[in-house]
Amino acid sequence: MAETSLLDANKYKALFAQTTSKPKSLRRWERMDLFPAVLPMDLCPPELSANVQGLSPPPYRLGWQYGEEDFRAKFCKDDCGVIPGFEKHIYDRFLAGDPTGRQRAPQLDFDEFCVVYIRTNGGKKKTVGDIDMSVVESVKRILGEQNPPMWYRAF
């Protein structure tokens, strides 16, 4: 996991207040100094539509990240695949506790890692106050996690 304690939060936030025209899209692993792989929950990344030093921010997901083997061991005990494991052991359990919560239900991003996430940096600017802590606590309980979610850069 990336070191987030070395980040100067005020300096980091100030970077995203700057504007320029025609942002350039980032390539995989590009500008990790500006857009780290991992951010703490309370340091929200800029929205996708922002223009940060002439760059379009990469997508971030607020959630919990697992290696595929760890995810399978924890959530696919009945020999199911990653997606059925997510649906059965996470998504369905969330909806059982909140039947009207489809809009707030966790989602799965499965690429290099399995990220069970509850927010993205798409749409309007996110602040810590925008994060529904009841959803955080509900998903944390379902996952059996003790740690808060983190913002993971999608690649």
User: Is the pTM value of this prediction over 0.85?
Assistant: no
Distance between CA atoms of residues 138 and 96, nearest Å: 11
Candidates 125, 85, 124, 126; CA nearest to 108 is 85
| Two tokens, residue 30 | 């590009």
Residue spans of the domains in the chain: they are 9-153
Partner residues linked to 38 by β-bridges: 152
Residues of the chain predicted below pLDDT 70: 1-7, 13-21, 99, 125-126
SS3 80: coil
Cβ–Cβ under 8 Å, residues 67 and 115:
no
Asked if 37 contacts 151 with a C-beta cutoff of 8 angstroms, the reply is: no
HSE of 117, CA atoms in CB hemisphere, 13 A:
21
pLDDT for 106-128, tens place per residue?
A: 999 888 899 999 999 987 766 77
Angle at 57 between CA 82 and CA 102, to 5 degrees: 40
